[in-house]
Amino acid sequence: MKPSAKKSRRKQGRKQNVAGARESALSVLEAVLVKGRSLSAARSLIGGGLEARDRALAMELVNGVLRWRFRLEALLARLLRKPLRKKDYDIQLLLMLALYELEELRTPDYAVVNEAVALSRRLGKKWAASMVNAVLRGFIRDRQALATSVDQDRAARRSHPGWLIELLAHDWPEQVDGILDANNQRPPMWLRVNQARIAVDDYVRELELQHIKVQRHPVEPGALMLDAPVEVDDLPGFNRGLVSVQDASAQLAAGLLQLEGGARVLDMCAAPGGKTCHILESAAGLEMTAVELEPLRMQKVKQNLDRLGFQAQLVIGDATSASSWWDGNTFDRILVDAPCSATGVIRRHPDIKSLRQQSDLQALTETQRQILDQSWRMLKPGGLLLYVTCSVLKRENEQQIAQLLSAHADAAEVVIDAAWGIACEYGRQLLPGENNGDGFYFAKLQKQGVGVEDTAIA
Ligand SMILES: C[S@@+](CC[C@H](N)C(=O)[O-])C[C@H]1O[C@@H](n2cnc3c(N)ncnc32)[C@H](O)[C@@H]1O
């Protein structure tokens, strides 16, 4: 075969792979936006037959469309003569995907249009081909004027649902735009070095040998931010338990628990076990009980414990009603990493903007209240409870703590004095993007009564 024929065949193959990435992206988007599946569950639909770089492209397209969904829809509403029928939502998604590529990626305009037209035919919708072509060419022609027009609306410009913008503006009037902007950024990949196995400096040297560049966190010594994400199997010693993937803000929890060897620790909402394992890495000889409602998610806790070489008593149970699984022995330390709106981790899970509804908040805050209430009963006098959420909404954070303090006369706040976050009426809030980390809330409480003097809290 002539070299030029070989080259053209390679080019053709590459084109097909990129087309496969777009088709995979459409399947995932449909699963999330039509069937309501979470992105972490739906991402398995990305074709296993794709090369790593095409899988990465598919994920970039999915994340990008979910991130910019509200703006892309606003643009499309101006470009379509009438809204598409419900049964043609695949064409709507295909157009959003093409608009995202035109707006945010460096794909040449002609390639985006040609591929979108071809994709509409492959979806069995030949009738849509000329409309797709006209809509995208219309966008390319008028893109500046269209952008100026849609961006007058804050929900479109910042690409968030209106109800969420309202809640954020109410709770964080000065920071709201910064939060919305941070939610639309691509998150970095953070590592947590297992310091029970390797010193941080030694692990950084292992990374350097693999040409993997990292930056250190200003506060948390074991947290390393990668300059560019890598597959976990490419991390030195991942399978030997030298390191885990965990956002830097989440890594602040273990240190706040003031752990000491021999302590009885309860992790009330444990899966996938990031904080359970970090706690066990932080002090030797802890007696750890990890509770989780979802059996399948508990398997992840077990896998992480096994990989990192730790043990814990695993309880599949409901943290809102401890009587069914608790033996009555109290704990020195309790971590309540409560189920929440996840409004602090939107940059990592852009599907939250579409899947979370305002109406979910009432049930979530009631669950949080019940878990806190149950946990309080299980804490030893003098013991510490750390309440954590990845939410930035005050009703899930400081208002929960205010409620606990008023319901339990033996509860006292231990003020977190830190060089990070914002001091709230109770507890401390990290907003998304601070030190390149996710948005997290932390509050620390101590149980008053007999034995308080004996605790390690100075
Ligand atoms: C924020 S995640 C915990 C993350 C975990 N601590 C970590 O660092 O990897 C909250 C967990 O609580 C679990 N959960 C939700 N409701 C629960 C309940 N009533 N009882 C116990 N666990 C619950 C969820 O399944 C989820 O795994």
Tens digit of each residue's pLDDT (9 = 90 or more) over 139-151 = 999 999 999 999 9
Active site residue 390: yes
- Between 308 and 13, the more confident residue is 308
CA of 313 to the centre of ligand 1 (A): 16
Pocket test residue of 246, 292, 373, 438 for ligand 1, highest count of atoms within 8 A of CB? 292
Backbone torsions φ then ψ of 307, nearest 5 degrees: -65, -40
Mean pLDDT of 10-35: 83
| CB-ligand 1 contact for 171 (6 Å cutoff) | no
Contact 171, 425 (CB under 8 A): no
**456 — pLDDT class (breaks 50, 70, 90):** very low
Residue 454: predicted pLDDT: 45
CA of 255 to the centre of ligand 1 (A): 20
| CB-ligand 1 contact for 300 (6 Å cutoff) | no
State which fold the 252-454 domain adopts.
Rossmann fold (3.40.50)
- Quick one: what percent of the chain has pLDDT higher than 90? 91
Mean pLDDT of 93-100: 98
CA-to-CA distance for 1 and 3, rounded, in angstroms?
6
CA of 397 to the centre of ligand 1 (A): 16
- Residue 13 in this model has a pLDDT that exceeds 80: no
Residue 19: predicted pLDDT: 79
Nearest CA to 90 out of 33, 139, 131 is that of 33
Which helix or strand (DSSP H or E) is residue 214 part of? strand 214-216
| CB-ligand 1 contact for 318 (6 Å cutoff) | yes
Contact 238, 184 (CB under 8 A): no
| CB-ligand 1 contact for 179 (6 Å cutoff) | no
Please report where in the chains the tokens 């209430």 appear, as a residue.
373
Please give the number of the atom of ligand 1 that sits closest to the Cα of 318: 20
- Candidate list 269, 277, 390, 424, residue with the active-site label: 390
Residue 455: predicted pLDDT: 45
Please give the number of the atom of ligand 1 that sits closest to the Cα of 388: 1
| CB-ligand 1 contact for 316 (6 Å cutoff) | no
pLDDT tens per residue, range 254-280: 999 999 999 999 999 999 999 999 999
Q: Whose CA is nearest to atom 27 of ligand 1?
A: 271
Domain ranges across the chain:
3-150, 190-245, 252-454
- Residue 431 in this model has a pLDDT that exceeds 90: yes
Residue 397: predicted pLDDT: 98
| CB-ligand 1 contact for 302 (6 Å cutoff) | no
Residue 206: predicted pLDDT: 98
CA of 338 to the centre of ligand 1 (A): 6
CA dihedral 140, 146, 151, 156 (to 10 degrees): -80
CA of 248 to the centre of ligand 1 (A): 19
Please give the number of the atom of ligand 1 that sits closest to the Cα of 371: 19
State which fold the 190-245 domain adopts.
Alpha-Beta Plaits (3.30.70)
Packing angle, helices 398-407 and 360-378, rounded to 10:
40
**CA of 415: how far to CAs of 338, 394, 425, 445, in Å?**
20, 17, 10, 8
| E-assigned strand segments in 53-204 | 190-193
CA of 336 to the centre of ligand 1 (A): 9
CA of 391 to the centre of ligand 1 (A): 14
| CB-ligand 1 contact for 339 (6 Å cutoff) | yes
Q: How many CA atoms lie within 13 A of 458 on its CB side?
A: 2
- Residue 86 in this model has a pLDDT that exceeds 70: yes
| C-alpha 186: how far from chain center | 11
- Residue 59 in this model has a pLDDT that exceeds 90: yes
| CB-ligand 1 contact for 319 (6 Å cutoff) | yes
Residue 12: predicted pLDDT: 60
Pocket test residue of 192, 245, 268, 269 for ligand 1, highest count of atoms within 8 A of CB? 269
CATH of domain 3-150: 1.10.940.10
CA of 271 to the centre of ligand 1 (A): 6
Please give the number of the atom of ligand 1 that sits closest to the Cα of 278: 8
Mean pLDDT of 347-370: 98
Q: Whose CA is nearest to atom 13 of ligand 1?
A: 269
